[in-house]
Amino acid sequence: MFLALLELKAARGRFLLMGSVVVLVAALVGIVSGFTTGLGDDTVSALRRLPATHIAFAAGSDSDQFARGLVDAPSADALRGDPDLGAAEATPLGVSITRGTTNRGTEVDLAAFGVEPGAFTDPGADTGEPLDASRPLGIVISRQLADEGVRIGDTLVVDRLGIRLAVVGTTGRSSYGHVPVAYVTTDTWRHIRFTVPGAKTTPADLPLQYSALALRLPEDTDSTTLAAADRRHGTTTVPLEQAFAAAPGYKGERLTMTSIQTFLFLIAPLVVGAFFAVWTVQRTPELALLRAMGASRRRLLGHTLAQAAVVVAAGTAAGAALASTVGLLVGEQVPFSLPASTLASTMGAVALVGLAGSALTLRRVTTVDPMTMLGAAR
């Protein structure tokens, strides 16, 4: 270890250069990880907030299920009362992206989530009042909409439809498809979803259909029982985490960002391995001298790994700090989220693949010939 540190000091320029590369790779992996998490949250945070175990869609709606599939009210009643599902809870859920303008001229995009007041999907209100069935035209906005200028007491008019909604409360940050969420009653959601611009439609004229059903099933519900219930009621039920894929753009974004991360994890060991391979070739005479003086192969291996560990660990730590700084600088201006647990696991993976790259040079270290220093190579 002493010799390893001496070499680090003697050739600090080379090791600083290599360390800088590790810093940049680690920072880039951390930043990509932050954008991956942030984009995912910005797409499905409203779904993550649902205290549901499963989501039931209409059978046959394989893509963009929240926008294309429609489940009717009898299906909700049937699932809720299905004896094979035990004490299952089922409540309608409507999801639509629309646009509105307040009476103060503030224009906003919003994802209208239709929930039944008092149901387990009802988020309540952090400030103001929650949804109330006696006031079907009330709306509870997420904090992003409040940040954009919508206030409690405002009247929000849905564009093209002329539906006037009274802002009665606010709740935490939640979004769907990169659009801030606002919660309305299921009757209001049906009005938004099924009303044709310019038409005079009464609630009785609107179909009793919803985007999906939110379910809370007993823990002992098995997939076979659930599949049988789906066949009986014409639904397709998936765990809540799988329902995230129904959000617009979620799968494509995850695939893109994960692919970038994968390539970075492949690049890191190659870069580190190439550097230490060249470094090992350059100091072959010194390694041969150590072998001729009686140093064991194990000691040379420890010597090489110590140098790699110092360079990779220091570079990864600096990269983590840089990625965290980027997260602080961008703030809430872009969808970036890098929790400490995610940062730690990502940087740990970077360090491991970096050390794996340095391991590619170990064979040359162990096979160095001590006779080189005694003139056998002449």
Report phi then psi at 357, rounded to 5. Answer: -65, -40
Q: How many residues are given for the chain?
A: 378
DSSP state of 286: H
Residue 378, pLDDT score: 47
Query: What is the enclosing helix (H) or strand (E) of 110?
Result: strand 107-115
Measured between alpha carbons, how far is 10 from 366 in angstroms, rounded to an integer?
Answer: 23
Distance set, CA 31 to CA 35, 252, 314, 330, 342 (Å): 6, 18, 18, 11, 11
- The rounded percent of the chain whose pLDDT value lies above 90 is 42
Residue 7, pLDDT score: 60
Structure tokens at 291: 């072998």
Distance set, CA 71 to CA 42, 217, 228 (Å): 26, 18, 17
Residue 374, pLDDT score: 56
Residue 119, pLDDT score: 93
Average pLDDT across each block of 10 residues of the chain; the chain has 378 residues. List them in order. Answer: 57 76 90 90 92 90 75 84 82 94 94 95 95 92 94 94 94 93 94 82 81 90 89 90 88 89 87 78 65 66 76 91 90 84 92 84 65 54
Listed in sequence order, the residues at least 6 apart from 144 whose beta carbon sits closer than 8 Å to its beta carbon are 173, 175, 180
Q: Which of 182, 157, 181 is nearest to 101 (CA)?
A: 157
Residue keyed to tokens 């983590």 = 320
Strands 164-170 vs 138-141: parallel, antiparallel or unpaired: parallel
Burial grade of 224 (CB within 10 A; 0-12, 13-18, 19 or more): exposed
Residue 18, pLDDT score: 80
Measured between alpha carbons, how far is 285 from 287 in angstroms, rounded to an integer?
Answer: 5
